[in-house]
């Protein structure tokens, strides 16, 4: 009998909920607001629709495994060297490659409970211990706690900013203070999947590219603001020595040529990004007003989602199900360790209005 390593055997399979179509059929829904995956519900740039011709892509051919064209495009966009950029299957795929490249079984990843769950999964699959710190009051990062928990085993510190699902960021002064204190032999992963949203919301969001820290890896993606979630394409920015190590462990032909070409088109349409992030900020304020008016405990967000705290797991489960049965799909946060909370993606104006309408109806019956 084939034996499975304990750290793999103890890893839980990803268990998705019912699909949207299955839920619509089950509850006989005629209207829905899909607000559970932090997708860009505005779609993607119209310039992509206008420029896609599949016959131009030579889909029967393998492509450049070093992704030179897209790396060059991104490096030019940020005024970097191409040696500082790598492409991957979403920021999640790059996160996995960073852990594979730099961690061994006796190392430790340091992060927080209540952050992007894939850091826990990829650490476990790599047989690397993952130490989870408790978020401070109001679900914020406590940098003193990070510093005081660094040990000889600490190899990577993972920080998502904005943090999914809490929506919080690490501000400029805290980021600089943290990076100055952390030993240079510890790699810091700064996951900026929601970078475009946060940059549009506050000046306190640090532009990580303005700093020159040799032990920093920045993760960004085309899945969120650019609206290309199904294409699975992201990128990492770091020093050449780190990028060279990541190139050794990436899949040879990662990602598809179609994904790369579409990402290049998306990068060219910054007017679309400006409109998306502006609308997101407007719609966030709509939720803030509603939650304030109805005494719902919420936390101001710097992403395209907002988290509310219902005070108990029972209440969050009940509200989740009541919303679901009316066609409003939000996210339970049990997997994040935040059982009292729900996360709501900021959708289009119509989707958010419908969510708030149903929410009001539910509150009036409680």
Do 344 and 35 touch, CB atoms closer than 8 A?
yes
256 shares its domain with 275: no
| Residue 15: per-residue pLDDT | 67
Domain boundary pick from 242, 268, 294? 268
How many domains is the chain partitioned into structurally? 2
Do 95 and 191 touch, CB atoms closer than 8 A?
yes
313 shares its domain with 183: no
Q: Could you report how far apart the first and last alpha carbons of the chain are, in Å?
A: 55
Domain boundary pick from 268, 296, 322? 268
| Residue 31: per-residue pLDDT | 95
3-state SS assignment for residue 160: strand
In a domain, 144, yes or no: yes
Domain boundary pick from 268, 297, 330? 268
Could you list the beta-strand ranges (E) of 93-135: 108-112, 129-133
Interval 168-181: pLDDT, tens: 999 999 999 999 99
pTM equals: 0.95
240 shares its domain with 346: no
Give the whole-angstrom CA distance, residue 28 versus residue 326. 9
In a domain, 113, yes or no: yes
pLDDT in tens, the chain (366 residues): 888 888 888 777 766 678 899 999 999 999 999 999 999 999 999 989 887 877 777 788 888 889 999 999 999 999 999 999 999 999 999 999 999 999 988 999 999 999 999 999 999 999 999 999 999 888 999 999 999 999 999 999 999 999 999 999 999 999 999 999 999 999 999 999 999 999 999 999 999 999 999 999 999 999 999 999 999 999 999 999 999 999 999 988 899 999 999 999 999 999 999 999 999 999 999 999 999 999 999 999 999 999 999 999 999 999 999 999 999 999 999 989 999 999 999 999 999 999 999 999 999 886
Using only C-alpha atoms, the chain has a radius of gyration, in whole angstroms, of 21
Is it true that the peptide bond before 255 is cis, omega within 30 degrees of 0? yes
Which residue do the tokens 């750290």 mark? Answer: 7
281 shares its domain with 261: no
> Residue 18, Cα to own-chain centre: how many angstroms?
22
Q: What is the DSSP letter of 204?
A: T
CATH label of the domain that carries residue 78: 3.40.640.10
> Residue 214, Cα to own-chain centre: how many angstroms?
23
Closest CA to 213 of 267, 167, 250, 159: 159
200 shares its domain with 99: yes
In a domain, 25, yes or no: yes
| Residue 10: per-residue pLDDT | 79
112 shares its domain with 254: yes
159 shares its domain with 197: yes
Q: What is the DSSP letter of 348?
A: -
Give the domain extent around 340: 6-44+271-365
Interval 69-120: pLDDT, tens: 999 999 999 999 999 999 999 999 999 999 999 998 899 999 999 999 999 9
């Amino acid at each position: 009998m084939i034996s499975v390593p304990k750290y793999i055997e103890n890893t839980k399979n990803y268990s998705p909920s019912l699909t949207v179509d299955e839920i619509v059929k089950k509850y006989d829904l005629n209207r829905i607001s899909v607000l559970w995956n932090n997708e860009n519900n505005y779609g993607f740039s119209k310039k992509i629709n206008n420029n896609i011709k599949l016959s131009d892509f030579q889909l029967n051919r393998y492509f450049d495994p070093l992704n030179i064209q897209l790396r060059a495009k991104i490096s030019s966009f940020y005024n970097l060297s191409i040696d500082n950029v790598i492409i991957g299957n979403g920021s999640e795929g790059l996160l996995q490659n960073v852990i594979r490249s730099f961690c061994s079984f006796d190392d430790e990843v340091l992060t927080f409970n209540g952050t992007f769950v894939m850091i826990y999964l990829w650490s476990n699959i790599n047989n690397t211990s993952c130490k989870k710190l408790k978020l401070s009051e109001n679900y914020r990062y406590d940098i003193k706690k990070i510093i005081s928990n660094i040990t000889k085993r600490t190899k990577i510190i993972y920080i998502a900013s904005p943090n999914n699902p809490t929506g919080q960021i690490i501000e400029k002064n805290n980021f600089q203070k943290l990076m100055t204190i952390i030993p240079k032999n510890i790699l810091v992963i700064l996951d900026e999947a929601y970078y475009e949203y946060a940059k549009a919301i506050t000046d306190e969001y640090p532009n990580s590219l303005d700093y020159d820290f040799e032990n920093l890896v920045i993760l960004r993606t085309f899945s969120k603001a650019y609206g290309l979630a199904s294409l699975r394409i992201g990128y990492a920015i770091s020093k050449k020595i780190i990028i060279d190590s990541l190139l050794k462990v990436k899949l040879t032909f990662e990602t598809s040529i179609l994904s790369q070409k579409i990402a290049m088109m998306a990068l060219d349409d910054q007017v679309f990004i400006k409109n998306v992030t502006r609308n997101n900020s407007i719609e966030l304020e709509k939720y803030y007003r509603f939650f304030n008016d109805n005494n719902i405990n919420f936390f101001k967000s710097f992403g395209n989602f907002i988290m509310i705290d219902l005070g108990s797991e029972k209440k969050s489960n009940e509200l989740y199900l009541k919303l679901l049965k009316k066609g409003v799909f939000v996210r339970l946060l049990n997997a994040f360790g935040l059982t009292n909370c729900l996360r709501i993606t900021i959708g289009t104006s119509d989707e958010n209005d419908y969510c708030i309408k149903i929410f009001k109806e539910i509150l009036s019956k409680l």
